[in-house]
């Protein structure tokens, strides 16, 4: 049996350039998706604050936080993991490339903050390091039919989840494809670690996916594919 998925919460951008918005007009958050494969219940990007996300999880799936076996972060962006502490029983996962790149950045920032004597920043960075250390490098397949799909560029190691099905392939893309408008315009999210790499990842996503769960939008049909 193929893995199944359900969107728990649809994300949004603080400002959407395609809607003519110049500055932040709303609180941004990432799309949160639940994937079920056998006994694995994988929550992707638990973005909303816990007091909002947990009721949504129950509303959309009938599950509580103790039922989640894995939490996968498509990137280590703080927006993507606001509620992660609510899933203490779950295994926290992130792509190895993202984990290593962010670890190097955090170490550099930690040394700078220590040299500057910035105690508040040191405390904040220590909390970030603790989350990263708790998070394991995800295997290529988290569960049967739940495969990692590298989409690097917006962040150094951004990675989506590919769900190959008998009739269609679904890609949980994270911020590699933030919205339908970005996909139709062939644009990537900004700020961006490597625009050229991000554009290449977007192209790979379009080639493989029939359906896409956007990082800040709903589930969409790949507009380049014929209806099926």
pLDDT tens string for the chain (228 positions)?
689 999 999 999 999 999 999 899 999 999 999 999 999 999 999 999 999 999 999 999 999 999 999 999 999 999 999 999 999 999 999 999 999 999 999 989 888 888 888 889 889 899 999 999 999 999 999 999 999 999 999 999 999 999 998 889 999 999 999 999 999 999 999 999 999 999 999 999 999 999 999 999 999 999 887 554
Residue 86 burial (CB < 10 Å; 0-12/13-18/19+)?
buried
Which structural domain, as residue segments, surrounds residue 212? 4-221
Residue closest to 31 by CA, chosen among 89, 72, 70:
72
pLDDT in tens, 175-184: 999 999 999 9
CA distances from 96 to 30, 76, 138 (A): 21, 11, 7
Number of domains, the chain = 1
Instruction: State the pLDDT at residue 173.
Output: 98
Rounded to two decimals, the pTM is 0.94
What is the CATH number for 168? 3.60.15.10
- Dihedral angle sign, alpha carbons of residues 55, 61, 66, 71: negative
Instruction: State the pLDDT at residue 2.
Output: 81
In a domain, 103, yes or no: yes
Rounded CA-CA distance 139/120 in Å is 35
In a domain, 26, yes or no: yes
CA distances from 62 to 55, 67, 153, 177 (A): 9, 10, 35, 28
In a domain, 226, yes or no: no
In a domain, 199, yes or no: yes
In a domain, 228, yes or no: no
Instruction: State the pLDDT at residue 226.
Output: 56
CA distances from 46 to 71, 80, 130, 185 (A): 8, 6, 17, 27
Q: What is the largest CA-CA distance in the chain?
A: 60
Strand order in the sheet with 4-9: 4-9, 32-37, 40-44, 70-73, 91-94, 136-137
In a domain, 97, yes or no: yes
In a domain, 122, yes or no: yes
Six token digits for residue 147: 């495969």
In a domain, 160, yes or no: yes
DSSP state of 144: T
Rounded CA-CA distance 152/176 in Å is 8
């Amino acid at each position: 049996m193929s893995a199944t998925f359900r969107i728990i919460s649809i994300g949004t951008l603080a400002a959407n350039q395609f809607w003519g918005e110049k500055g932040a007009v709303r609180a941004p958050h990432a799309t949160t998706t639940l994937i079920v494969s056998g006994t694995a219940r994988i929550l992707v990007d638990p973005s909303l604050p816990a007091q909002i996300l947990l009721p949504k999880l129950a509303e959309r799936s009938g599950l509580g936080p103790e039922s989640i076996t894995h939490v996968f972060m498509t990137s280590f962006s703080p927006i993507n993991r606001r509620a992660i502490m609510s899933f203490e029983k779950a295994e926290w996962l992130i792509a190895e490339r993202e984990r290593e790149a962010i670890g190097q950045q955090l170490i550099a920032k930690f040394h700078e903050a220590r040299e500057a004597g910035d105690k508040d920043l040191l405390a904040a960075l220590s909390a970030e390091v603790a989350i990263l250390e708790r998070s394991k490098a995800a295997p290529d397949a988290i569960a049967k039919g739940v495969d990692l799909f590298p989409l690097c560029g917006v962040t150094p190691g951004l990675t989506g989840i590919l769900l190959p099905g008998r009739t269609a392939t679904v890609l949980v893309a994270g911020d590699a494809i933030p919205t339908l408008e970005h996909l139709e315009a062939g644009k990537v999210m900004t700020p961006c670690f490597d625009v050229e790499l991000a554009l290449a990842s977007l192209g790979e996503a379009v080639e493989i996916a029939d359906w896409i769960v956007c990082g800040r939008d709903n589930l969409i049909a790949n507009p380049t594919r014929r209806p099926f």
